[in-house]
């Protein structure tokens, strides 16, 4: 497991030390240790049910770990939140209804020790034009942006976002991430959970891969992509199949030959396909496809387990 280098002298923004949390028999978070350092933009990447939301809840002190310790800025989550150092937007975070968007954002600003102007907060979140609308009349995407406005109502050092673009269309997504990058460029630490590898790749300078409550990988987006970015190559061959030659193809992570059909997983599909032609065979029905994220996680898990054993 690679760790992004950071100065050892600074107090980590987020510290997890051997944290576990179970619901009945299910280990939602299973022994996670990690440190986030100031100024990093970090993606918490994992499929649904990987433990992302539980991890964020633990981090924010909304849930308490069964064992291990969680710290924010060297203190408890509640201390950091009470000092206004954290702005957070959760999937499960509701909004006060029967009030207008502007009233709610103003409330958010007045609850922050270093507030921004409500008008600026709304403009940045792209909700200025719906300022007078009642909160209970908003679409899913609009409500998400109001949540984002509440998370950025003041000058916080750490911003936590749990699947922030859920319910947004493509253009809203792009606008959202542009705003988010501004926040990160001002030196804030940003931690966001997502199940889109592309989002993690485009935004984060560090990616934590979470699967079944465990931290599978921790590295730059490029490193994660190399691990998770395996592609699937499949084709049919006629006549006798030379299994030994196929197994020796470059960049293979797995191969399955059944009947005349060959299915390969490769970390560099272009090179693998090129080498197939190099064997002097003529593949038919050639298909190259990306792995779904779920399969990519399985691939990473297998790779990690193989490394450990």
Partner 1 sequence: MNALIKLELARALRNKKFLFFSVLYPTSLFLIFSSSSGSGEKVDGTGLTVATYLMVSMASFGALTAVLMGNSERIAKERESGWVRQLRLTTLPGRGYVFAKIASAAVVSLPSIIVLFIAAAAIKHVHLDAWQWLALTGIIWAGSLVFAALGVAIGYLATGDAVRPITMIIYFGLSILGGLWMPTTTFPKVLQDIAKWLPTHAYAALGRAIEQSQTPSTTDVAVLAGYFVLFAGGAAWLYRKDTLKA
Q: What is the binding site for partner 1 (CB under 8 A)?
A: 60, 62-64, 81-84, 86-88, 90, 92-99, 103-104, 106-108, 110-113, 147, 150-151
- Helix and strand numbers (H, E) in the chain are 11, 13
d(CA 52, CA 137): 29
Q: How far is the CB of 64 from partner 1 (least distance, A)?
A: 7
Of 40 and 53, CB closest to partner 1: 53
Q: How far is the CB of 96 from partner 1 (least distance, A)?
A: 5
What is the C-alpha to C-alpha distance for residues 103 and 111, in angstroms, rounded to an integer? 12
d(CA 41, CA 187): 9
Q: Least separation, in Å, of the C-beta of 160 and partner 1?
A: 8
Q: Which is nearer to partner 1, 89 or 269 (CB)?
A: 89
Least Å distance between CB 43 and partner 1? 20
Are the CB atoms for 184 and 35 separated by under 8 Å? no
Nearer to partner 1, 97 or 238 (CB): 97
SS3 253: strand
Q: What is the largest CA-CA distance in the chain?
A: 75
Shortest reach from residue 59's CB to partner 1, in Å: 11
CA distances from 285 to 137, 147, 234, 235, 278 (A): 51, 48, 8, 5, 17
- When the beta carbons of 103 and 294 are compared against partner 1, the nearer one is 103
Nearer to partner 1, 86 or 197 (CB): 86
């Amino acid at each position: 497991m690679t760790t992004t280098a950071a100065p050892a002298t600074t107090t980590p923004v987020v510290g997890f030390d051997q944290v576990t949390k179970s619901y009945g028999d299910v280990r939602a978070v299973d022994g996670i240790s990690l440190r986030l350092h100031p100024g990093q933009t970090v993606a918490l990447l994992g499929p649904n049910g990987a433990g992302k939301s539980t991890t964020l809840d633990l981090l924010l002190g909304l849930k308490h770990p069964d064992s291990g310790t969680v710290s924010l800025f060297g203190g408890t989550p509640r201390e950091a939140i009470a000092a206004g150092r954290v702005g957070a937007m959760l999937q499960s975070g509701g909004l006060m209804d029967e009030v207008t968007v502007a009233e709610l954002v103003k409330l958010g600003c007045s609850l922050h020790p270093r507030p921004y102007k409500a008008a600026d907060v709304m403009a940045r979140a792209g909700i200025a034009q719906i300022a007078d609308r009642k909160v209970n009349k908003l679409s899913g995407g609009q409500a998400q942006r109001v949540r984002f406005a509440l998370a950025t109502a003041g000058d916080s050092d750490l911003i936590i976002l749990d699947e922030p673009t859920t319910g947004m269309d493509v253009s809203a997504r792009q606008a959202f991430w542009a705003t988010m990058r501004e926040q990160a460029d001002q030196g804030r630490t940003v931690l966001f959970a997502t199940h889109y590898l592309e989002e993690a790749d485009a935004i984060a300078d560090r990616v934590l891969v979470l699967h079944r409550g465990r931290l599978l990988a921790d590295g730059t987006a490029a490193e994660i992509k190399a691990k998770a970015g395996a592609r699937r190559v499949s084709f049919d061959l006629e006549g006798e199949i030379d299994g030994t030659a196929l197994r020796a193809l470059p960049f293979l992570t797995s191969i399955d030959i059944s009947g005349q059909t060959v299915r390969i997983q490769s970390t560099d599909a272009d090179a693998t396909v090129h080498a197939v032609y190099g064997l002097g065979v003529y593949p038919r029905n050639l298909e190259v496809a990306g792995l779904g994220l779920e399969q990519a996680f399985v691939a990473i898990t297998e790779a990690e387990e193989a490394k450990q054993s």
